[in-house]
Amino acid sequence: MNKDCYYFTHDSNAKDDPKCVLMIEQLGMEGYGIYWMLVETLRDQPDYTYPVANIPALARRYNTSAEKVRTVVYNYELFTVKDDRIFFSESLNRRMQAFNERRAKRSEAGRLGNASRWGASQTDRNAIAMRSQSLAIKVKESKIKKLTTVP
């Protein structure tokens, strides 16, 4: 997987949502494809919003018309348009908030586990080093005793 790919969850039955059913009836599967292209585009944005002014560029990029993309954005209550400036998906935002909260909890648990593991490991390493030094000193003393002791 490309490191620039971002994960998000979605319902496997999104196509059965009445809003999507109406969109598919009116625009065909192209409308449904446009919908998912928009959701994926939103997911790639840091704040999960996209400028309305960039709809024509999106349409060109994905070989469709700006009118069809605007229709999907404005007509099916699948997206929220704010001040005719940006649009976003409340559903995506809810999913991403839950996803980001889970990720933050896992990250914190990992950080604590790592600190615990390395903390214990450092203590263990110190204990092993001290024991090794002690044994080395005893071995050295033993050799010295053997050399200095006359049979």
Residue 119 belongs to some domain of the structure: no
| pLDDT score, position 84 | 96
* Domain with 59 in it: 14-88
Residue 40, domain member (yes or no): yes
The predicted-structure confidence for 80-129, as pLDDT tens digits, reads as follows: 999 999 999 999 999 888 887 887 887 777 767 766 666 655 566 566 66
Residue 110 within a domain: no
Specify the pTM: 0.65
How much is the pLDDT for 48?
Answer: 94
3-state secondary structure of 104: helix
Return d(Cα 25, Cα 4) in angstroms, integer: 34
* Residue 114: per-residue pLDDT: 64
In the chain the first and final C-alpha atoms are separated, in Å, by: 74
Residue 68 is predicted with a pLDDT of 98
- Find the CATH number of the domain harbouring 67: 1.10.10
* Choice between 142 and 21, residue whose per-residue pLDDT is larger: 21
Q: Which residues contact 140 (CB under 8 A, 6 or more apart)?
A: none
Any domain includes 117: no
In a domain, 141, yes or no: no
pLDDT at 108: 74
Looking at residue 1, its pLDDT comes to 47
> What is the SS3 assignment for 50?
strand
What per-residue confidence (pLDDT) applies to 124?
Answer: 62
The reply to whether 114 falls in a domain is no
Interatomic CA distance for residues 29 and 138, integer angstroms: 81
- Determine, yes or no, domain membership for 23: yes
Domains in the chain, number: 1
Q: Please, are residues 45 and 135 in contact by the beta-carbon 8 Å criterion? A: no
Distance CA 124, CA 118 (A): 9
- Is the pLDDT reported for residue 149 higher than 60? no
pLDDT in tens, 43-87: 999 999 999 999 999 999 999 999 999 999 999 999 999 999 999
